[in-house]
């Protein structure tokens, strides 16, 4: 195989793409704040209101009218941050990885209501029995989903279905989070790394 140009999206200036090594889908963020998705549609992770797979990038209509500034893909779920700092998640809901307080799959982007009073500035989605982490502009890191191996960062391996603060990271200036399959990583403004 050789790299192939995605001609169906050449009319769009793409400023970011998101994939996950454990996943089979992709998101693209345009300079206009629109999100496109394609790949395997199982669990609703493409955000088109169905479980259909798409070979070519397809605009996520439900996010139109909302300027998206960042995107992330997990193995079976997806996330997007708006310019206002609101977080939307969709896809497989098992273990509460979407942060909506339950484990139901979401076939379309849904606001994470527990964080709507905060401004989310970064998000990361895990693969497998997944977790989700985000950073808010009040210098806090939040985690939710599957807690095996302590990957939620709150001591122990309990999972949760709504975002909860990682108290040990509060006030440390975390600016970036990433999720592996069974671990999580945080990077601070001063260059320190926490796992």
Q: Give the Cα separation of 148 and 118 in Å (integer).
A: 27
Q: Give the Cα separation of 63 and 192 in Å (integer).
A: 34
136 part of a folded domain: yes
44 part of a folded domain: yes
180 part of a folded domain: yes
Q: What is the pLDDT of residue 128?
A: 80
Domain CATH code at residue 67? 2.130.10.30
21 part of a folded domain: yes
Instruction: Identify the sign of the CA torsion 91, 83, 159, 96.
Output: negative
pLDDT tens per residue across span 125-166 = 998 889 999 999 999 999 999 999 999 999 999 999 999 999
* Residue numbers of the domain that contains 59: 12-194
How many domains are contained in the chain? 1
119 part of a folded domain: yes
1 part of a folded domain: no
């Amino acid at each position: 195989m050789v790299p192939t140009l995605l001609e169906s999206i050449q009319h769009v200036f793409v400023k970011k793409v998101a994939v996950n090594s454990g996943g089979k889908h992709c998101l693209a963020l345009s300079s206009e704040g629109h999100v496109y998705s394609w790949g395997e549609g199982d669990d609703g992770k493409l955000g088109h209101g169905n479980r259909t797979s798409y070979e070519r990038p397809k605009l996520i209509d439900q996010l139109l009218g909302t300027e998206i500034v960042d995107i992330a893909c997990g193995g079976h779920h997806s996330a997007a941050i708006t310019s206002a700092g609101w977080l939307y998640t969709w896809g497989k809901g098992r273990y509460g990885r979407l942060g909506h307080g339950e484990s139901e799959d979401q076939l379309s982007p849904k606001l994470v209501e527990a964080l709507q009073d905060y401004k989310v500035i970064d998000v990361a989605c895990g693969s497998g029995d997944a977790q989700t982490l985000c950073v808010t502009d009040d210098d806090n890191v939040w985690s939710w989903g599957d807690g095996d191996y302590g990957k939620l960062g709150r001591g122990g391996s309990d999972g949760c279905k709504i975002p909860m603060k990682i108290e040990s990271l509060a006030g440390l200036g975390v600016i970036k989070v990433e999720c592996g399959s069974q671990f999580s990583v945080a990077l601070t403004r001063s260059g320190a790394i926490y796992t």
